[in-house]
Amino acid sequence: MSHVGIRGNEAADGAVKRAAAGLTVTRHVLPSLQQVKAKARKAVTQHTQQGHRQLEGSKTQAAWYATAFGYHPLDAVHKQP
């Protein structure tokens, strides 16, 4: 069904467009379970890597292990997106 040629249609369309232009609808949407799990995994990984980096510099065992086995820091092996 076309509204072309109906008297007053253009004026009504213009009024609707002007009214709608000022409206914004904001609604808080909760993250999905998949998004929550991904964020939790990323946080745990970052926390673990940070703790590991702190230990690498302070523990003699870590330096020995790195030398003996050609160990590379986590950041070089596992790049996070």
What tens-digit pLDDT sequence spans the chain (81 residues)? 456 667 777 777 777 788 777 777 778 889 999 999 999 999 998 898 888 777 776 777 777 777 777 766 655 445 555
Q: How many CB atoms lie within 10 A of CB 70?
A: 7
Domain assignment present for residue 38? The answer is yes
Q: Is the pTM of this model over 0.85?
A: no
Domain assignment present for residue 15? The answer is yes
Q: What is the DSSP letter of 30?
A: P
Domain assignment present for residue 4? The answer is no
Q: Which domain holds residue 13?
A: 9-77
Interval 53-62: pLDDT, tens: 777 767 777 7
Helix (H), strand (E), coil (C) string for 53-76: HHHHHHCHHHHHHHHHHCCCCHHH
Q: Based on the structure, what is the number of domains in the chain?
A: 1
Domain assignment present for residue 24? The answer is yes
